[in-house]
Amino acid sequence: MSRVDRTDAFASRLAPTGAAHSKMWERACSRRGQWQQITLSALLTMSLTACTVGPDFQKPEATQIADWAKPAKSAPSQAVSEPLNERWWEVFHDPQLSALTQRAVQSNLDLQLASSRLQQSRAARQVITADRYPSTAATGSYARKRNSSEGLNDPSGHNGDSAFNLWDAGFSASWELDFWGRVRRETEAADANLEVAENDRRGVLLAVLADTAQNYIQLRGVQNTRAVTEQNLDVARHSLKLSQLRLADGVATDLDVAEAAAQVAAIESRLPALEQRQSQLINAISLLMGEPPQALAKELSTDAAVPQSPLQVAIGLPSQLAERRPDIRQAEARLHAATANIGVAKGDFYPRITLSGNLGSQAMQLSDFGSWGSRAFGIGPQFSLPLFDGGRLRGVLQLREAQQQEAAIAYQQTVLRAWHEIDDQLTAYNASQRRRDSLAEAVRQNQIALRTAQQQYVEGVVDFVNVLTVQSALLATQEQWVESSTGVSLAMVGLYKALGGGWESVYPEAKIAAGLPGVVKAPTGIDGSAVADLK
């Protein structure tokens, strides 16, 4: 036996039979499958029990005050620390004002814009939240191919001699294992940004309610001022007629008549400006309703009394302010988002590990497609670790930390500004009441003085200059009284706006109309009450 034959015989004795070889291969595959399962299980367990990098958000402490500013005991309307009336516009007991606020919420375009921004924020959150879950896709392709005979080995077996068909279809999946909590921080920031958009809408809603009430109150104030001016115009015309009669009787002079006529003209000159102001306020209310100019002229041109504040104004407790004012809630949400973004920036320093896989069928003959032999699959992790980026990641982290510091300062400033606004509005509300009461007494005294001066003029005790002087003083004090009465109601609206009352708990989120909003027709049948009687 030759040396070669002896070697072959020895090798044949060492080599396993076909059955043995198959069992060995199965055991090797089984062990490899076990290792794969262990590896995948370990990766999944790590992803579920992973840490979250970056600082956790803590509700900031803000400036607090013990109690509101105390009003003067003599003020007719007192601000009391009782639960805030979220429907504060109803305390005026003006049905038309309540109807206008309802219409403004339904059709105001600024509010619709804010609702649209809120929807965008919700969609953005959904996009970011999707990164926390696996993504799957179905794939499929067909190609008529011919590989190069001069290149690398042709895997098709045709050696580049002929073209062939290739059918391919299956499923693919990938999932980023969030070991370091970067994706969780992204979701946290998206939730905070959604809260920013929600409070932005609440702030717009509060502004729309306050603007509607303020414009309506100013409109009624202008109409009352016009009524006072017209009453004084009647008095001036009566004085002119009286002076003309006295001139005819020879007991008055041409100077008296000229002065009386000048007084009539001076009072008449006030009316055009008041009519212009009324038109502007009606347009302002129409804009808040989403209506064209002068759309509400018919229903708002009828004079009505200035809405008056109640005897007690509930303003809530100071400790509830941060939970009620939309701008404070918005500033807190911005700080939350900025804090979460620090975690996102820190997470970029760590490896990104993605588990990906595919399962499908591939064949060169359509008849073989889908058979057991055409199956193909692949599964395994991938990772990427930043090694050098020129300091970009560190710069992003420093930027996020500076943005968080800015958001924290902005929160403190927002809270402090809120306290100042409330204190200023409380002071304005109390001061405007005292001014209104003093002017009411001045009006009464000037009315007495005018009647006395007119009687003395008829008796020849005083000249006509005295009558004109007293009449001018009465007109001025009456206009100031109407202005101060309007100011009390405006100050009350400003106070409720500063307190942050009346938003989501009263009016739910308005629906956004598809396409361009149409013109909303104003409802009919809303009549104003009579002009206030000034005495």
Residue 362, pLDDT score? 85
By C-alpha distance, which of 110, 108, 122 is closest to 196?
122
Q: Is the CB of residue 350 less than 8 Å from the CB of residue 182?
A: yes
Sign of the C-alpha dihedral computed for residues 382, 387, 391 and 394 taken in this order = positive
CA–CA distance, 339 with 349 (Å, rounded to integer): 17
Number of residues written out for the chain: 535
Residue 318, pLDDT score? 75
Tell the residue number behind the tokens 């070697």, with chain if given: 7
Residue 80, pLDDT score? 59
Beta strands 375-384; 352-363: pairing state? antiparallel
Beta bridge partners of 171: 138, 359
What the block records as the tokens of 135 is 């993504």
DSSP secondary structure letters along 445-496: HHHHHHHHHHHHHHTTSS-HHHHHHHHHHHHHHHHHHHHHHHHHHHHHHHHH
The amino acid at residue 506 is V
Measured N-to-C along each axis, helices 392-458 and 464-499 cross at an angle, to the nearest 10 degrees, of: 150
CA–CA distance, 245 with 265 (Å, rounded to integer): 19
| Averaged pLDDT in 10-residue chunks for the chain of 535 residues | 42 41 43 48 50 85 61 54 80 94 93 93 92 90 77 60 82 90 93 94 94 97 94 90 88 89 94 96 96 93 89 76 87 96 94 91 82 86 90 95 95 92 90 91 93 88 86 90 93 91 63 37 32 31
Q: Is the CB of residue 426 less than 8 Å from the CB of residue 71?
A: yes
| CATH architecture, domain 135-177+351-384 | Single Sheet (2.20)
Residue 402, pLDDT score? 97
Q: Is the CB of residue 460 less than 8 Å from the CB of residue 250?
A: no
Residue 323, pLDDT score? 79
By C-alpha distance, which of 60, 88, 57, 323 is closest to 192?
57
Query: Which helix or strand (DSSP H or E) is residue 355 part of?
Result: strand 352-363
Q: Is the CB of residue 411 less than 8 Å from the CB of residue 62?
A: yes
Please report, for the chain, the start and end positions of each structural domain, with discontinuous segments joined by +: 78-133+179-350+394-499, 135-177+351-384
pTM of this prediction? 0.78
CA–CA distance, 169 with 74 (Å, rounded to integer): 86
What the block records as the tokens of 223 is 């109409």
Q: Does the domain made of 78-133+179-350+394-499 have the CATH classification 1.20.1600.10?
A: yes
Q: Is the CB of residue 464 less than 8 Å from the CB of residue 256?
A: yes
By C-alpha distance, which of 69, 199, 220, 91 is closest to 493?
91
